[in-house]
Amino acid sequence: TAALGEETLASASSSSDSDTGGASPPPRKKHRASAAEGAGEPGASAVVTGLSGVVLGLATQPPHSQATSAIHFNRSVVNNLSSNMQANGAGQESSELSCLNSTQNGESSSAGGSHSNGLLSSTNNGNSVGTSNGASTGPSSGTSTVSTASGSEVGSLKKKKRLSQAEEDVIRLIGQHLHGLGLNQTVDLLMQESGCRLEHPSATKFRNHVMEGEWDKAENDLNELRALMHSPNAIVVSSRMKFLLLQQKYLEYLEDGKVLEALQVLRGELTPLKYNTDRIHVLSGYLMCSHAEDLRAKAEWEGKGTASRCRLLDKLQTYLPPSVMLPPRRLQTLLRQAVELQRDRCLYHNTKLDSSLDSVSLLLDHVCSRSQFPCYTQQILTEHCNEVWFCKFSNDGTKLATGSKDTTVIIWQVDPESHQLKLLRTLEGHAYGVSYLAWSPDDTYLIACGPDDCSELWLWNVQTGELRTKMSQSHEDSLTSVAWNPDGKRFVTGGQRGQFYQCDLDGNLLDSWEGVRVQCLWCLSDGRTVLASDTHQRIRGYNFEDLTDRNIVQEDHPIMSFTVSKNGRLALLNVATQGVHLWDLQDRVLVRKYQGVTQGFYTIHSCFGGHNEDFIASGSEDHKVYIWHRRSELPIAELTGHTRTVNCVSWNPAIPGLMASASDDGTVRVWGPAPFLDSQEVDGLNENCSNMDS
């Protein structure tokens, strides 16, 4: 019992010293010193007296009651200390009380405040696992005696959580990113605390040797790395990496003017690899460069230094497994992919794609509001006095041409700032009305065609407003469609009465194809192939040079009109009684059928639009304009305002937020983003759009 009292007193004293940062002297000296100073500090004297009384009380008790008293020792000490502090009116807590109270409450205490790895002392099931002068104490509770550290108690410390593979990958990605920012000490601490490894030690050594230009050592490192590749092609991959190293070594020798050393690398090291001999021939030509600037220009190389060596490392890293060395800027790559995926899934994203992460916030998901989309009427053009059958923006987006049953074509100028349209000039004299328009590739000329019973077409100079050509091969002809050759010097035209011509700008007939009843035409970018939909519910490709043709698209119903994407891969068809169909011309398969539109036997013209042509718009016989995202069959917007059939829709190719529609109601509507609204109106608009989207 006496031993227990001494041990307990020593523990309490050491705790006090631990809190004050001092060393703990033997307990008897501590007791005498406190008693001697008691006259000046009554609070301290009371504390020591209380502790001594408890210890002596334990010593004088019978044996059968000593265990019971020892069990309540902690509580007695705390109560004694508290009462003595209150009785003496102390305004601050003693270090002994803080230590014991923290132990009583299951909190940890330590001599240094934290371990060397920066982590605070851990707790085990709410019990204290503290340190005193570097020695750990075991877990304590209200029903256990104070005990010292032992092997079993150290083993009871809570084990560090084992990281999953995904967690290790994330830590390595963060470490690589921080390393790229130059926060190397932070990276070291992160790897130390997590127990992870940013890259294999051999890879680190290899990286350092490359960046320092120690090429012989870097070559030796390749042998170690080859053993880590675990690939049947490890030898080949190693040869490729060695080639890249030697190429850098060769170029740096040349830049330094060490021609003989460079020649030795070329002959004695690069050539024996027998890899990429064509590149070796190119490298040998650099020996003739007269100065360093000439070498860098011909080799398209940054020159000796950090920039070129970093680029070399990026190439070398692609050959190594990620467990050995992470691919360059892997975290940025993953974040960029996530942003691009969110943009792809955004139904209303209609702005230029920017691959830089600086243009977006990584803290929020990407969302585009419908209010930024061309769903709102900006302008109503009422200058036509009859049905408007067609509209088309110029290729540069600066003008809009509209054709009407009133026999006129109106050219509108688009204001680049306000996007408002202003009448530029009116082209007259189309006796049968204007049902189709086609801009030349350079927007200098505009061709106008009439309805089925029209045998003429008009070729206008838009800049001067003069009629260059009025073409008519025969009064029996029906020239209802036209398409420009990409060279801008020829065009093809035809109609449902079996005419199919290729002509020059003066209307001279260059070639003809007999027996083809043309409904709509399009010239592909190869300059040879002309696509034509005919009365057999199909689209065929015609080559006027070798006079061959082939079937590309076959539908079950009449194709009223079609248009082709800029890359020539996709075709958008308006099919009678069916609606709008998307075809892949290369694979010759139907990709998607878009829902919602009302399509009978009227000729309605749809279009691709928006940035990257991600959207599709079409008129409808139910007086609406429908817009779809190219990947979604359901419309994302239904635009109302017209009072009769909408015959044609055109999306501005240069201004993604501008669109025009022509209708039998005699008007042309210009659609754009929502006008400026206050915050409440915007919130209400977005709420309505969300309800519609859901």
Question: CB of 342 within 8 A of CB of 366?
Answer: yes
Does residue 318 sit in the same domain as residue 378? no
- Contact (CB, 8 A) for 609 and 659: yes
| Residues 482, 410 within the same domain | yes
Q: Which residues pair with 594 in a beta bridge?
A: 580
The amino acid present at 294, given as its one-letter code, is D
Report the C-alpha gap between 203 and 189 in whole angstroms. Answer: 19
Q: Which amino acid is at 160?
A: K
Does residue 78 have a pLDDT over 90?
no
Determine if residue 270 is left, alpha or beta; phi over 0 gives left, psi from -120 to 50 gives alpha, anything else beta. alpha
CB-CB contact of 449 with 457 (8 Å): yes
Instruction: Answer whether residue 58 is part of any domain.
Output: no
Q: Is the pLDDT of residue 554 over 80?
A: yes
Which residues face 673 on adjacent strands?
Answer: none
Q: Cβ(93)–Cβ(102) under 8 Å? A: no
Q: Give the number of domains in the chain.
A: 2
The DSSP element (H or E) to which 449 belongs, if any, is strand 445-449
Task: Please say if the pLDDT value at position 110 is more than 50.
Answer: no
CA terminus-to-terminus distance, the chain? 78
Distances (CA, A) of 521 to 154, 437, 442: 85, 12, 19
169 burial class (0-12, 13-18, 19+ CB within 10 angstroms)?
Answer: middle
Listed in sequence order, the DSSP H helices in 88-164 are 95-104, 151-155
SS3 148: strand
For residue 10, name the pLDDT band (cuts at 50, 70, 90).
Answer: very low
Instruction: List alpha helices for 256-365, DSSP H.
Output: 259-265, 277-285, 292-299, 306-317, 330-345
Q: What is the pLDDT of residue 676?
A: 67
Whether 392 and 522 map to the same domain: the answer is yes
Residue pLDDT, tens place only, 314-326: 899 888 888 888 8
CA distance to 443, 445, 575, per residue, from 479 (Å): 21, 18, 21
Rounded-to-integer distance, Cα 303 and Cα 286, Å:
13
- How far apart are alpha carbons 622 and 643 in whole angstroms? 9
104 in any annotated domain: no
Report the distance separating Cα 254 and Cα 287, nearest Å: 7
Torsion of CA 316, 322, 326, 331, to 10 degrees: 130
Given a cut of 80, whether residue 574 has pLDDT beyond it is: yes
Assess if residue 133 is contained within a domain.
no
Q: Which of 278, 303, 328 is the last residue of a domain?
A: 328
pLDDT at 340: 85
Q: What is the CATH number of the domain that holds 410?
A: 2.130.10.10
CB-based contact 600:621 (threshold 8 Å): yes
Same domain, 493 and 604: yes
Q: Is residue 516 located within the same domain as residue 400? A: yes
CA–CA dist 112, 589 (Å, integer) = 73
Asked if the structure places residue 160 within a domain, the reply is: no
- CA torsion 401-403-409-413 (nearest 10°) is -20
The token pair that represents 421 in the structure block: 């349209």
Do residues 313 and 391 share a domain?
A: no
Whether 359 is in a domain gets the answer no
**Token pair recorded at residue 459:** 């070729």
Of the listed ranges 21-35, 237-251, 657-671, the one predicted with least confidence: 21-35
Residue 604 lies in a domain: yes
> How many Å apart are CA 496 and CA 518, to the nearest integer?
5
Give me 481's structure tokens: 């469609």
Same-domain check for residues 287 and 411: no
Q: Which two tokens stand for residue 178?
A: 């921080």
Q: Are residues 306 and 374 in the same domain?
A: no
pLDDT band at 635 (very low <50, low <70, confident <90, very high): very high
| Residue 232 predicted with pLDDT over 70 | yes
> Are 464 and 514 in the same domain?
yes
Q: Residue 510 corresponds to which tokens in the numbers above?
A: 């260059």
Instruction: For 83-99, write each residue's pLDDT tens digit.
Output: 444 444 444 433 333 33
End position of a domain, from candidates 328, 362, 382: 328
Domain that holds residue 227: 199-328
**Structural domain includes residue 455:** yes
| Non-local CB neighbours of 256 within 8 Å, separated by 6+ positions | 304
For range 648-664, the mean pLDDT: 95
> Which range, of 63-72, 614-623, 663-672, averages the lowest pLDDT?
63-72
Query: 206 and 280 share a domain?
Result: yes
With a cut of 90, say whether residue 609 has pLDDT above it. yes
Tens of pLDDT, residue by residue over 398-416, are 999 999 999 999 999 999 9
Residue 12 domain-assigned (yes or no): no
Q: Summarize the confidence of residues 182-211 as an average pLDDT.
A: 91
Instruction: Report pLDDT digits (tens) over 490-541.
Output: 999 998 888 789 999 998 999 888 878 889 999 998 888 999 999 899 999 9
Single out the residue in 295, 328, 361 at which a domain terminates.
Answer: 328
Query: For every residue of 489-513, which 3-state class applies, written as one string?
Result: CEEEEECCCCCEEEEECCCCEEEEC
The amino acid sitting at 586 is Q
Q: Which residues of 390-405 are buried (b: 16+ CB within 10 A; e: fewer)?
A: bbbbbeebbbbbbbbb
What is the pLDDT averaged over residues 327-356? 83
Pair (422, 533) in one structural domain: yes
